[in-house]
Structure 1
C-alpha cells in the first residue's frame, strides 16, 4: 500500500494570523515575513503529526492510494477519513496499462472514522495479476480552517506552539504533549482484527 497527497494543504487554508495571535506575536515589525514563514512551518508540522496520529485529514484535499490487492474482495477501507468523494478507481496491469473502473461498480461509504469503498454487487473488480489498483479520493473535514473540529484545531495550535517554544532544543525527541493527546483521543481510529474492513 502506498498513500500520497496530490497536493499539500493550500497556504490560504492555513490559519497563520490566528496562530500568531495564539502565540501573542507582535506585528508591524520588519521581520513579519520571517515570523509568518516560521508560523506556517510549525502549523504544517503540527497538522501532519495530528493527521498521522488520528488518520484524519483536517483540511480537504486529494489523495492517491495504490494497492496490489484489495484488503477484502468486497470492501476496501481508506487510510484517511473522512472521505468526501472518490474521483477515480483505475486498474493498471503489470505493464502499467491503465483501465478506468466504471463508477457503478463501487460506492463510497462515508464515515468520520473509517470511510470505505464497497462493491455494488458481490465483489470489487479484480486487480490484474502483477498489477495494481489506484484510487484517487478527496478527504477532509472541509476546504477551510473553520471546518476543522474545535478540539482538533486546538490540538494543532498547542502542538505548533510547542514546536515554536522548543525550536532551539537539540535534545531527544519527545512524544506529543499530554494536552494534545487528550484533545485527539476521541478521533483516533481503533483497529481490531488486524485492521480489517472496519
Structure 2
C-alpha cells in the first residue's frame, strides 16, 4: 500500500501572521524563511501522525484487494472517495463506480467498504483509490493543539536558522511538542 499526494494543500495550517505574532517579529525580513519552516513543520507533523492537516487530494495504490471487505486508509481524516480505478488486461485504466461505498473517514486508520471490487490485471499498483483527506480548507479547521505544536516547532527551527539551512530542518523538536501531538499519533504494535 502506497499513498501519494496528488495536490499539495492550498494553504498552511498556520498563517505567516500567526507565526510572526508567536515569534514577536515585526519586520518582513524573515518571511520567506518562516514560510519554508511552516511547510517543513507541517510535513514533519503529518509524517509523524499520519494526518492531513489541510484538505487535499491523495491516491491510495493497492496491488490487490485485502482479504476482508474493509480497506484501510492510513492517511486521514478522510473526507470523501473521489475515484476508483483498476486496470484491464491491456493495461488501460477502467473507472469503477464509487456509488454506495461506506466510509468511516474519522477512524484511525480510515475504513472503506466498497459495494463491488472488480479484478485488476496489473500485478503491482493495479488498484487506485483517489480520496480527499484533511480537517478542512483552512487553518481554522485544524485542532488548536496541533496548531500550537506547529508554532512551537517553527520557533525551535527559527532559533537554529544560523546553524541549519531551511532545507536541512527540522533540526530540533521542542520540549512539549510530543505531549501536544501524542493524542494524534497512530500507535502500532
TM-score (norm 1): 0.83
Aligned partner of residue 65 in structure 2, secondary structure: coil
Root-mean-square deviation over aligned CA pairs? 2.4
* 1:189 paired residue number: 186
How many pairs are equivalent?
Answer: 185
Q: What is the CA–CA distance in structure 2 between the aligned matches of 1:179 and 1:20, rounded to whole Å?
A: 20
* 1:150 paired residue number: 144
**Which of 157, 174, 178 is the matching residue for 1:163?**
157
Q: What is the CA–CA distance in structure 2 between the aligned matches of 1:72 and 1:78, rounded to whole Å?
A: 15
| 1:76 positional shift | 1.2
Q: What is the CA–CA distance in structure 2 between the aligned matches of 1:71 and 1:161, rounded to whole Å?
A: 43
| 1:129 positional shift | 4.6
Query: Which blocks of at least 5 consecutive residues in structure 2 are unaligned?
Result: none
TM-score (norm 2): 0.86
Matched, 1:127 2:124: no
Matched, 1:23 2:23: yes
Deviation digits for residues 83-131 of structure 1, max 9, x if unmatched?
A: 00010010024653111112136332222422121133xx633333525
Aligned partner of residue 7 in structure 1, secondary structure: coil
Query: Which blocks of at least 5 consecutive residues in structure 1 are unaligned?
Result: 193-198
Q: What is the CA–CA distance in structure 2 between the aligned matches of 1:130 and 1:67, rounded to whole Å?
A: 10
Matched, 1:4 2:4: yes
Change (3 A) 1:188 1:6: same
Change (3 A) 1:93 1:191: farther
What are the equivalent positions in structure 2 for 1:104-115 lying under 5 Å apart?
104=99, 106-115=101-110
